Amino acid sequence: MKKIVLIPSRLHSERLPEKPLKLIGNKTMINLVYEAATKSNADKTIIATDSELIFNEVINFGGDVQMTNADHNNGTERIYEASLNLGLNDNDVIINLQGDEPFTDPNDINKIFNLFQDDQVEMVSMFTEVSDKRDLVDPDKVKVVLKGSMAENFYRNETEPNDSSFIHLGIYGFKFRTLKKIVNLPRSKNEIEKRLEQMRAMDNDIPIQMIKSNAKIHLGIDTPADLKLANELIKNAQ
């Protein structure tokens, strides 16, 4: 079983333009995400991008990068394109790690890989506890409702949160055969309406197993305020 981490990274962001190239400490955000992934047990880590600026930055810091088409609907489609060049078998495992998660814990990546030792597992994602009740009604914080260890639903901004809700973290593991199946399905109603790519799997009865993250920091960088906080955290850790 090959273990691959693919990091989709786009230059355009409405709230934080060119965010993969923003500095956190003395390194770009995409550099920090790549470094975290390479500290895991992955056999290979590759950044998938449609931006020459990101491509050149990855080359400059010595990373592995592939150019992809610009017309993908989401990161899952982007990493699938990149995966086609890797000679993968159906049971090989791909982790989709978001390019705006510089505080990713490599141990979380390893935990996902380990779950795929069970051949019945098709797709995995992660969650963490709710630390601020305001996050439950914040549409920028995606929530997951659990039933046992499985995802039952994902949502953004319901006004009556479920007691079984947790904060969803944007990292996904797939068997290669499952990734291939998902990207060849049409976009689903809930995927479009909720603006959540994982709903394509949910709407087509592909089970998503959830595991809890043990990372000390959970901070996806989406806004200038997030970037400021990330720099403060890096400074305090030095």
Q: What pLDDT band is residue 106 in, cutting at 50, 70 and 90?
A: very high
Distances, alpha carbon 227 to alpha carbons 4, 123, 177, 222, in Å: 28, 30, 36, 8
Confidence check: pLDDT of 157 > 90? no
- State the pTM of this model: 0.93
Q: Mean pLDDT score of the chain, rounded to an integer?
A: 92
DSSP per-residue string spanning 189-229: HHHHHHT-TTHHHHHTT---EEEE---S------SHHHHHH
- Non-local (6+) Cβ contacts of 87 within 8 A are none
For the chain, list the domains and their CATH numbers.
Answer: 3-123+169-211 (3.90.550.10)
Q: How far does the chain reach from its first CA to its final CA, in angstroms?
A: 37
Going by pLDDT thresholds of 50, 70 and 90, the confidence category of residue 238 is: low
Mean pLDDT of 57-66: 97
